[in-house]
Structure 1
Amino acid sequence: MNLLEVRDLEVTYPSGAAAVRGVDLALASGEKLGIAGESGCGKSTLALALLRLLPAGTRVGGEILLDGEDVLAMKWGRVRAVRWAGASIVFQGAMHSLNAVHRVGDQIAEPILLHRRATPAGARKKTGELLEQVGLPAARADAYPHELSGGQRQRVMIAMALACDPRLVIADEPTTALDVMIQAQILRLIERLVSEQDLGLLMISHDLAVLADTCDRLAVMYAGRVVEEGPARQVYEDARHPYGRALSEAFPRIGDPASRFAPRGLAGDPPDPSAVPSGCAFHPRCPVALDLCGTRDQFLRDAGPRRRAACVHLDARAGAPEAETTEDDVRSSTP
């Protein structure tokens, strides 16, 4: 059984914006799944939905199974327990997530006292162990957030996420505000902890290169949907969806002068979630869009071994006439 299964997840904000539209994902223990996409594609909304952290009035449909238990059907007491002991989240921007007037050790100890019912002495001991586990001296527990560097604060956030021994860790842009050297250290730290503790990791980023280097599998989101999924390195190096290719080409490749001196971007922005275009949502920005892309929606289908993508051009790769592909054909070929 998978540690996490997301089935046909739909998230609509009170404003009517459909931020997540029919997402299906699965994650096993010890596996690292990356979620990529531009700002506004639904990545963070997906992460918040997994732990029911969305604003009041938000409509959520589908299923979110954590160890076989539907998070969306849980009572609030059960949700509060699951948020630390079953799954935890590392938010982007540690300085905004940590309380500026409390010592970091007290903030790490709080969930331990609440969920593990530890004694104050036991919580302090556990806090010191967690800090050492993420590469900080136990004595830094007495520091305030402003007394730590950006990388140290991010390590504190990771220690806090591990405080109650969760099985799933969600990392939402955990290295965005860090320099390249510290970013690499944090990513290696996360990889090591996932391996040592057999955790499931869901990592969110706009940077395909980071996800390809860190994760086992990669899912690319656009306009609230997963448009491509497969082994991370394969998706990064040979994306089957035009949007995945555009994301990959937006970053210069080390050792490749052509990409350094002639970077390629993608004009425009993702659509407003309250006004998603008809047909394939990417077609207004797609460099290889066909006439039918504006009228016919696309769904994930086989795109190679352990790979899926939602693009009409996959039919041409397989030798099928593009114009004859129907929605029923697409749905029947989806794993």
Structure 2
Amino acid sequence: MTLLEVRDLHVTYPGGVAAVRGVDLSLAAGRKVGVAGESGSGKSTLALALLRLLPPGTRVSGEILLNGEDVLTMRWGRVRAVRWAGASIVFQGAMHSLNPVHRVGDQIAEPVLLHQGATAARARLRTGELLEQAGLPAALASAYPHELSGGQRQRVMIAMALACDPRLIIADEPTTALDVMIQAQILGLIQHLVTDQEVGLVMISHDLAILADTCDRLVIMYAGRVIEEGPAREVHENALHPYGKALSASFPHIGDPASRFAPRGLAGDPPDPADLPAGCAFQPRCGEALDVCAREDQFLREAGQGRRAACVHVPVPAEGSGAGRAAS
């Protein structure tokens, strides 16, 4: 069953900043999709659009179907209900997301009280259950955010995200600020919860290795578009698009001294969304670009085994093969 389906999503900020351009995304219950890309690629804007958390004045078009219901056309009362019971989000900086003057237990209990109509006693009981589910003792409900470690705060955020039993969890860089050991624990916890509770996970990161270990499928974004997608480990280990190759090579690999001491980066910066270059947006930074790349934008092409890539080097399927042109 398809839990989330995004169709031809466009997001433009005031001033003509095209942050997301024609993105398609599909996710089934119990599955995990990773979204990767540099800062400015549009991945966090995509996450915010899924729950209509974008600032006023932002233009949004397309469809965001959650359990078949379009989030973009919902009434505000329905959107507020969906944000907890239908889908929830775990932000990157837990210390910035938690209220510093309220105990964490009260913050976890709040959505249970408001959205599930629970009594105060039931909300306290549920808070303890959620903390233990997130790997923390129930007694920590009386703590303030500053009394907890970074890993503990992130677990509190996960407990809050699970408070109303959502069917979809969006995790926006949930482990970036954590050390490697705690990062592994948080990722393991997220995977365990998704598997046990049959929820869908959209996980956003710039680190392809983390997404390859955590997710079933991987989507790579650049300049607001999906430029490659497919099975997560295959995309990480054998990217078809030059940008995907560069992202994968930019992190050192364990056991490979060459990549450890001289990781391969990518020259230049992502383009300004308000002033995108003609043709393929990646062409000015691409070492494999052809003349046609500067003239014509590239679309996602079927590349076999559930993979697609928006690159001129990916052959266009022959007519009659059943693979059509896909929106990027």
TM-score category (smaller protein) = over 0.9
Q: How does 1:197-276 map to 2 (within 5 A)?
A: 197-276=197-276
> Does residue 160 of structure 2 align to residue 160 of structure 1?
yes
Distance 2:146 2:262 in 1: 40
Deviation at 1:14, TM superposition (A): 1.1
Report the TM-score, using the length of structure 2 for normalisation.
Answer: 0.97
Which whole-Å deviations, capped at 9, do the CAs of 1:90-109 have from their partners, x for residues lacking one? 00000000000000000000
Deviation at 1:262, TM superposition (A): 2.4
Distance 2:315 2:168 in 1: 36
Q: Which residue of 1 aligns with 2:326?
A: 334
Deviation at 1:233, TM superposition (A): 0.2
Deviation at 1:34, TM superposition (A): 0.1
Q: How does 1:137-176 map to 2 (within 5 A)?
A: 137-176=137-176
2:324 is matched by which residue type in structure 1? S
Distance 2:325 2:58 in 1: 32
The answer to whether the 8 A contact 2:151-2:186 is kept is yes
Distance 2:263 2:162 in 1: 39
Q: Which residue of 2 aligns with 1:82?
A: 82
2:54 is matched by which residue type in structure 1? L
Distance 2:277 2:209 in 1: 29
Distance 2:191 2:226 in 1: 24
Distance 1:235 1:303 in 2: 11
Report the TM-score, using the length of structure 1 for normalisation.
Answer: 0.95
Distance 1:5 1:253 in 2: 34
Distance 1:247 1:93 in 2: 23
Unaligned residue ranges in structure 1 (runs of 5+): 321-328
Distance 1:277 1:70 in 2: 32
Q: Which residue of 2 aligns with 1:193?
A: 193
List structure 1 runs of 4+ shifted beyond 3 angstroms.
331-335
Q: Which residue of 1 aligns with 2:25?
A: 25
Q: Which residue of 2 aligns with 1:312?
A: 312
The answer to whether the 8 A contact 2:90-2:170 is kept is yes
Deviation at 1:315, TM superposition (A): 2.1
Deviation at 1:15, TM superposition (A): 1.9
1:72 is matched by which residue type in structure 2? L
Q: Which residue of 2 aligns with 1:60?
A: 60
Q: Which residue of 1 aligns with 2:3?
A: 3
| SS state at 2:123 partner | helix
1:332 is matched by which residue type in structure 2? G
Deviation at 1:261, TM superposition (A): 2.4
Deviation at 1:260, TM superposition (A): 1.4
1:184 is matched by which residue type in structure 2? A
Distance 2:300 2:224 in 1: 13
The answer to whether the 8 A contact 2:299-2:325 is kept is no
Q: Which residue of 2 aligns with 1:106?
A: 106
The answer to whether the 8 A contact 2:211-2:232 is kept is yes
Which whole-Å deviations, capped at 9, do the CAs of 1:174-205 have from their partners, x for residues lacking one? 00100000000000000000000001000000
Q: Taking every aligned residue pair, what percent have the same amino acid on both sides?
A: 78
Deviation at 1:237, TM superposition (A): 0.2
Deviation at 1:206, TM superposition (A): 0.3
CA RMSD for the aligned pairs?
1.5
Deviation at 1:334, TM superposition (A): 3.2
1:139 is matched by which residue type in structure 2? A
1:334 is matched by which residue type in structure 2? A
Unaligned residue ranges in structure 2 (runs of 5+): none
